[in-house]
């Protein structure tokens, strides 16, 4: 019960990393606010937590919408009396995201609004409530692409994750003496809807996998375990850091045959 009596809000909690984390955090004793644009997925996550005897609520939230972000934080206070863990995890990778020539401005703006501004809004409204609740842990989902360039471009996505990483560092420094820790989680390529719908042929999947020393995609549950470490007091002296959980992709020069 590493998160006993804690309240955790997870954006993008309706699928993938967010859902796996919501379920794991609840098993560790946290009360969960699931925020997502996907009502079906969000409600399914809540049902699963309740079926396991946990406490959870769903609030439909588009993280690029300022008023809705304010409302999701209010939901944590009105339902569970505070907030200790804020997992800014919602993100998109647009199918029409490409290089500087092919990427349209609307795709760029949408990606930045969700992936970057969404984290900013989460912190804007979440930090005062975390402070009021006595402190806590903020985890922002970045990505290994904040470190590596790819010849198969997704320029808006890559730039957005670099922004999440640098924003997380500065937030950590600003709030370090308020008992608020801020760290980034940077997953490698995962077998979730987000990447599998982008790599929609076996050839594209293999083209990516050749760069992963472990030779497989990561699982959402493997990211949830890393997020739990960052959320809990197990990481009590860790802030302004990045947890790269990437199958070794950022360590590889050449991979085994």
- Residue numbers at the binding site for ligand NAD (CB under 6 A): 11-12, 14-18, 36-38, 41, 61-64, 89-92, 114, 141, 143, 187, 189-190, 192-195, 220
Q: State which residue, 19 or 84, has the beta carbon closest to ligand NAD.
A: 19
Classify the phi-psi angles of 135: left when phi > 0, otherwise alpha if psi is within -120 to 50, otherwise beta.
Answer: left
| Closest separation in Å from C-beta 124 to ligand NAD | 15
Both structure tokens of 124: 């804007």
Phi, psi of 21 (to 5 degrees): -70, -40
**Catalytic site residue from 125, 157, 237, 253:** 157
| Closest separation in Å from C-beta 178 to ligand NAD | 25
Q: Give 181: exposed, middle or buried? Use CB within 10 Å, 0-12, 13-18, 19+.
A: buried
Q: State which residue, 91 or 136, has the beta carbon closest to ligand NAD.
A: 91
| Closest separation in Å from C-beta 142 to ligand NAD | 7
Q: State which residue, 127 or 164, has the beta carbon closest to ligand NAD.
A: 164
The answer for residues whose C-beta is within 8 angstroms of residue 163's C-beta and 6 or more apart is 112, 115, 116
Instruction: Determine whether 157 is an active site residue.
Output: yes
Q: State which residue, 22 or 180, has the beta carbon closest to ligand NAD.
A: 22
| Closest separation in Å from C-beta 74 to ligand NAD | 16
Q: State which residue, 60 or 131, has the beta carbon closest to ligand NAD.
A: 60
Report in angstroms the alpha-carbon separations of 7 from 46, 141, 157.
14, 19, 30
The answer for residues whose C-beta is within 8 angstroms of residue 56's C-beta and 6 or more apart is 22, 26, 31, 32, 33, 34, 45, 46, 49, 50
Both structure tokens of 240: 């302004």
| Closest separation in Å from C-beta 90 to ligand NAD | 3
Q: State which residue, 7 or 227, has the beta carbon closest to ligand NAD.
A: 227
| Closest separation in Å from C-beta 125 to ligand NAD | 14
Q: Within 10 A of 46 (CB to CB), how many other CB atoms are there?
A: 23
Both structure tokens of 131: 């402070």
| Spatial distance between the Cα atoms of 67 and 59, rounded to a whole number of angstroms | 13
Q: Active-site positions? A: 157
């Amino acid at each position: 019960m590493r998160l006993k009596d804690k309240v955790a809000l997870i954006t993008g909690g309706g699928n993938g990393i967010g859902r796996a984390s919501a379920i794991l955090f609840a098993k560790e004793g946290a009360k969960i606010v699931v925020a997502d644009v996907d009502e079906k997925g969000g409600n399914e996550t809540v049902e699963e937590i309740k079926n396991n005897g946990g406490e959870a609520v769903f609030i439909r939230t588009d993280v690029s919408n300022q008023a809705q972000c304010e409302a999701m934080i209010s939901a944590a206070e009105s339902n569970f009396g505070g907030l200790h863990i804020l997992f800014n995890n919602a993100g998109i990778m647009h199918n029409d995201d490409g290089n500087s020539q092919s990427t349209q401005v609307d795709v760029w703006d949408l990606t930045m609004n969700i992936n970057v501004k969404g984290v900013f809004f989460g912190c804007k409204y979440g930090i005062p409530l975390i402070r009021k609740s006595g402190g806590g842990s903020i985890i922002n989902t970045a990505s290994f692409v904040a470190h590596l360039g790819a010849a198969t471009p997704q320029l808006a996505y890559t730039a957005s994750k670099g922004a999440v990483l640098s924003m997380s560092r500065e937030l950590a420094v600003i709030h370090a003496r308020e008992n608020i820790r801020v760290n980034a989680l940077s997953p490698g390529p995962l077998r979730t809807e987000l990447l599998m719908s982008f790599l929609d042929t076996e050839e594209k999947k293999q083209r990516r996998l050749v760069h992963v020393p472990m030779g497989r995609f990561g699982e959402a549950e493997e990211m949830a375990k890393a997020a739990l470490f960052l959320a809990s007091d197990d990481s009590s002296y860790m802030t302004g850091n990045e947890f790269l959980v990437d199958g070794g992709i950022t360590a590889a020069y050449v991979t085994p045959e």
